[in-house]
Structure 1
Amino acid sequence: MLAGTTLLAVAVTLAAANLRISVTSLSSVLGDVQRGLTAGSAWASAVTAAPSICFGLAALLSPWLARRIGGGPAIAVALAVLTAGLAVRVLAGAGLLLAGTFIACAGIAVCNVLVPVVVKESFPNRIGLVTGFYSSSMAAGSAVAAAVTPPLETAAGGWRPALAAWAIPAALALAVWLFGARKDTDFVTDAQPQHAARNLLRVSMAWVFTLLFSVQSIYAYVIMGWLPEILRDAGIGRDTAGVLLGVTMVIAVPLNLFVPAVAAKLRAQSGVMIGLTVAPVLGVLGLMFAPAFVPLLWAILLGAGMAIFPVVLTMMALRTRTSAETTQLSGMSQGFGYLIAAGGPFAAGLVYGWLGSWTVPLILVLGILAAQATLGAIIGRPHYI
């Protein structure tokens, strides 16, 4: 298995920092990109849905890839694919930008599935803590990308170099991963007998996990994909809207550091799951009724809701008996969950295009949060799947 060294923990943290930058960097300047490419609202909706679609498809293939070439090499390949996608998507028109986003997100999807397995196998006594660092780094990276890309667009003279710049930290993460995991063996192959012994597709609680992952993803990607546009429609400037998206993402950093660790020590996590749904409900209500009144408060409340993601990842490890089951549950819940979730940001954009208002999409988000609280309460009960 992968050795639980400090260098590996650093490699995991750096990899995580790059797992949302393709989304938030683009969404923070999406209006400018759309106008620059003379693309329509359907294209913008497709771009915001692309991450979830690609995450789902690639996540279903991730366990197979890990078994074929090993978990560590699979993550290295994924980081290389992410770097390439970020670099090439700005080189031509709307079609290549969409394709490059798909390529980048394919790399992200493999990391999404396999990095939690690295954490369970390599840091068995520190699952909550390392998951907290992993998810906090992810939130911090996405926050920086959201806040920095708009002013970087101004400084660099356009959105193309501003977006292309995010290939640099991805390449750095790849280099550190290659060094940090270079001497370790395959953590997936070792667990192959147990992996083959049970088909989670026939386990009802695995499907509850999948639905939970899908609804929390719908919430996250509607907010990440459309919050700047919601704020700009309320009269808030481009740079300020980008910074507020950054606030939404960065507020999860301190929460991600301690909430998974606390949740991992509890016998049941139902109360944590329900509690993490209250703040985003208030944030969505703020966007509906007074988006420009105290937008910083709405951004903070929305960001607090993002802290549910690392708790779900932690519970994948807590609710499974072996790392092979963790791999299978992670691949299943993220694969099918992201595919289900892809309709969320796409539908939000289309409904806005039809009605010219964000009220109905935000009402749907409130329904998604209600489902999240219900499913989280079920998953939070102490039992193995």
Structure 2
Amino acid sequence: MTASNNARTHSLALAASLALIAFSLRTPITSVGPILLEATRATHLSPAGASLLTTLPSLCFGLFGPLAPMLSRRVGSERALLGLLVLLTAGTALRVLPFWQMLFLGQIAACFSIGLMNVLLPGVVKRDFPDHVALMTGLYSAAMCAGAASAAAATAPAADFVKQIFGDSNGNAWAWALALWALPVALAVLMWRSQLPPVGTQVGRSTRAVRGLLRDPLAWQVTIFMGSQSSLAYIVFGWLPTVLRMRGMSAVDAGLMLSLSVIAQAATSLLLPFLVARLPDQRGINLLSLVLTAVGLVGCFFAPLSTMWGWALLLGIAQGASFTLALTVIGLRSPDSHVAGKLSSMAQSIGYLLASSGPFIAGSLLHATGSFYSLAALCVGICAIASWFGYAAGRRGYVHAQVEAAPT
């Protein structure tokens, strides 16, 4: 086999491994929404506790994401990802214990792992696929959406299956359904192990420090674009099934609507890079994606249930575009992989901290008012903010940062 064939085979294996990792990065999150009512009843969670549970993903992403560059420098990106995958497996499996303490502990462990991997992956893509950033970002975004859709669609039926086969006298089938999503993560652990460099090599380690991003306006525009569109995503993941159930849908049908929306996100993530590559910049498409997100959300809240599949599709197409674009601009606004890794850390740590307020406020509004109008107003307001910063982050150019030798 020639050297070029070896390189192509390695690249394909690496791409497949990254896609499998990405598949597992949203399953612990979207699996909760369809059975949230059962989980809160079984664990006696208060409305504030339920709101906090839906806030944990973006809160953990923001708090723990900044640790990723330091971990990468110490052990390398490949070994950092492997350790985090093992922790994600354990955290997801821990949710099999039907107590609110274990539900929160497992969710925190899972979201800690995901938060760091969110930051590491754009840098790995920029380093290993420098000429195909948009395409590879679309691939792992699509895989992430596929995992999210699978968890949204299958968790409630899995709980029903557990009830039918094993009985559910204690009302704990929901916990087994949540723990089910540890299986694809365990498979990702096995596959990623083959990508590890030999012990003692420096492959994947960052030897450069990046300074000045916090003073750069474009870096802040990318960050707020990431955070605001993420806030909308986690409002949808955490509360859309509950809203639909409050409107009269069954748990299974509400989960299927969320799944349909996320499947549309996956399709958009795969197709969008081919469009982005032909555009002079991303300003117009960033703005359009957020306008359509607002329209889709309002439709899901108020349109007749018989038309919900159409609104779910529109919402998924729009949110798939905004999520993929937010990830893509991290790479496109970075001159090299070192800056991409640091900008990814800034955008996803500060951005997710900003985003964490969205699901909590949404849940609090829903429980306090019982009305979808306040929730719709919140979402439209966030869409307006995301549109402004997405337009600014979409212009051509690079962030201004200094790359220096990292201290040893």
Q: Normalised by the shorter chain, which TM-score bucket?
A: over 0.9
Alignment of 1:357 onto 2:371: yes
Q: Is the 8 A contact 1:89 1:97 kept in 2?
A: yes
**2:110 corresponds to:** 104
Query: 1 CA distance for matches of 2:45 and 2:339?
Result: 43
Q: CA distance change for structure 1 residues 373 and 149 in 2, over 3 Å: closer, same or farther? A: same
Query: 2 CA distance for matches of 1:264 and 1:65?
Result: 33
Query: 2 CA distance for matches of 1:143 and 1:229?
Result: 16
**1:246 corresponds to:** 259
| Equivalent residue for 1:323, pick from 337, 341, 350 | 337
Q: CA distance change for structure 1 residues 68 and 264 in 2, over 3 Å: closer, same or farther? A: farther
Alignment of 1:300 onto 2:313: yes
Alignment of 1:15 onto 2:21: yes
Q: TM-score, normalised by structure 1?
A: 0.95
Alignment of 1:376 onto 2:399: no
Partner SS for 2:249: coil
- Map residues 191-340 of structure 1 onto 2, 5 A cutoff: 192-193=207-208, 195-196=209-210, 198-307=211-320, 308-340=322-354
- Map residues 50-69 of structure 1 onto 2, 5 A cutoff: 50-69=56-75
Q: Is the 8 A contact 2:78 2:204 kept in 1?
A: no
Deviation of 1:282 (Å): 1.5
Q: TM-score, normalised by structure 2?
A: 0.90
**2:190 corresponds to:** 175
- Map residues 27-106 of structure 1 onto 2, 5 A cutoff: 27-106=33-112
- Counterpart amino acid of residue 317 in structure 2: A
Query: 2 CA distance for matches of 1:102 and 1:224?
Result: 16
Q: CA distance change for structure 1 residues 7 and 223 in 2, over 3 Å: closer, same or farther? A: same
Q: CA RMSD in A?
A: 1.5
- Counterpart amino acid of residue 173 in structure 1: A
- Unmatched 5+ stretches in structure 1: none
Aligned residues: 380
Which is further off, 88-97 or 245-254? 88-97
Q: Is the 8 A contact 2:241 2:254 kept in 1?
A: yes
> Larger Rg: 1 or 2?
2
Q: Is the 8 A contact 2:257 2:309 kept in 1?
A: yes
Partner SS for 2:305: coil
Q: Is the 8 A contact 1:118 1:187 kept in 2?
A: no
Query: 1 CA distance for matches of 2:202 and 2:21?
Result: 18
Deviation of 1:180 (Å): 2.6
| Equivalent residue for 1:161, pick from 160, 176, 194 | 176
- Counterpart amino acid of residue 249 in structure 2: I
Query: 1 CA distance for matches of 2:331 and 2:278?
Result: 13
Query: 1 CA distance for matches of 2:382 and 2:279?
Result: 26
Q: Which runs of 4+ in 1 moved over 6 A?
A: none
Query: 1 CA distance for matches of 2:203 and 2:66?
Result: 18
Query: 1 CA distance for matches of 2:36 and 2:24?
Result: 19
Deviation of 1:360 (Å): 0.4
Deviation of 1:167 (Å): 0.3
Q: CA distance change for structure 1 residues 92 and 148 in 2, over 3 Å: closer, same or farther? A: closer
- Counterpart amino acid of residue 193 in structure 2: L
Q: Percent identical across equivalent pairs?
A: 38
Deviation of 1:128 (Å): 1.3
Partner SS for 1:266: coil
Q: Is the 8 A contact 2:290 2:319 kept in 1?
A: no
Query: 2 CA distance for matches of 1:344 and 1:186?
Result: 40
Deviation of 1:252 (Å): 1.1
Q: Is the 8 A contact 1:86 1:167 kept in 2?
A: yes
| Equivalent residue for 1:125, pick from 123, 131, 145 | 131
Partner SS for 1:294: helix
Partner SS for 2:287: helix
**2:405 corresponds to:** none
Partner SS for 2:65: helix
Which is further off, 367-376 or 256-265? 256-265
